[in-house]
A and B are shown apart, each in its own frame.
Chain A
């Protein structure tokens, strides 16, 4: 099957799904971050923890620890739903999918905190989970893996705060969970310029075609008003800079994990890894306008932790 078929059909018929290069090429510098002492915990209303320099597992643990530890989010007996990005059937070296070590680490931490059930889920085929290693990593750590490719696994949810969407169908296991952890990878995307945490939510929803046809950026922002994760652990250990979302393309080893609770803030920070301004990535700007979170990097309490 030609995965470009949709584009081929649309091309010369209508202008949907374009915008590869038009959005946000303004170059801005990475915001100043404060180097925090090892072992310290960040406090304050809007904060991001950035752990860098170590291997993916160590970076993950340090970033979550800096937010107060996984126990702050997962209580004994909780059901946890984890959404990685397994959206391409590529090996993790290509950096088009979440690093399996990051997923495995978070699953283990959840169980250590007393989670009764952890499910790693996404609207992607089982072969994606297999090929990118996320499925094995999650299973090793004791999680269930749910390749949610059947519509009966989804339940309708009303969207009252969205501008475009009025309802969506979301994976039932996620709706039933006590805790939702989003584990995206930071990467380039031909349609949205970047794929970060909010774009990763596309994979908890059933009808992606509607998103593409009716306004991808707005639909992503709208979805963020009803699917707010309790914790976001963004994998930026190796980021895909070009030819996303599938790759292969140019990659860079940033050896970094960004953790936070505000999706707009996490994504706003992550845009700087791609030399973009968050305001120029439409879905981040739209989510800010809808009150999903904070886009102004100057208002964020960002702390960086050296690992290793």
Chain B
């Protein structure tokens, strides 16, 4: 073990101190700091007051970086609103490498499929520390193989907003992709050829970074109108480039509902759970993801709401065109949009006043005076693996390598009255319910129901819910029984071999350490 560790309340060994990161608190319960007695001190943040300027446009990216005062060892941030079409991270890292920067901390809101360039930057020493919500591809391999100098910190979306506002994540320079921007830095994601929708992550970075640089391929006449998502007073410089991303991968068309019969079956079962739970009623609030069976759940919910003339109060989260349609149909009064999952959303944000763009702190920071997730009635979530204690892993693949994202998973699960996980009982012959998940992201105490195609498991903390689902004739099973049934088909896979060395830590939304990530053998 490369650090002194202690067992947290879930029995996971987590480091107590990491040089360069500092003292760490072990996780001690999802609501341990939310009983009304915890005192939180947001950090004052410092920035240079610029001289009066009527034009913030820098000659080029290099000049902007030079003017930003960025030094080796500092922290840079990015948002991931451009999804898999993002070109900003690679553009900036390439420039930083050319300029000879070393030893930077990279702290994007998340990383996706377009970010294998980060793995190169790690190998070359340009980046030596990483804070993110998620990783894919080569970056996950780089972390799991221990290529970074210091353990990667994985945070939830709400946890990252908290960390930024309290100063435990200090951003020196934020590089913020802007699908539309004017000469003084007013920016939005709802117009332009690289339009991506809401800019909820960028809002928080711009507000708290010591220096913020907007990078755009769509410089518009001042003032940007009709919508400004990040106002000019938060932006130091504007850089104009040829392209901030690949529109075909940013502005994907409306996300389609799965046609896979298995996923549809799970989705329908999940809908029946929601219906039987009693939460699906007038004025309820709802969140569902943009992929897999999540959108299919929304379809069943939509049909039911229409048939029964139910109007909900609001939807939050990653918003799809599908949710925008539900808003248009009057099924919800309001959408709170932190991040848009498809381009079908941009018209709705621009033109429908009830489709509100909100920042990620408002969405999920557990320590502000009331984030949106805390009032959620129902959230539908996916998972890579779950365990018999209802803990959820959304990070680790079956080969032990990081390949997922914490996202808003633990935030919404903790906030929602009904946190429902949809998961196929097996993937490629590997069972999805385990004795213990490899990496806990969302603690079992915040998860209410797990829905698989082979049955539904209800958290023993929710006897009330179990009774309701059973009364509705749903196939409720004890989670260990369900696990055994699945294993009769799959057998029990061998454990992946890990080394002792800790290469990452998973920070829970309240800043405590819920699990650590080991180097792969």
The reply to whether chain A is a binding partner of chain B is no
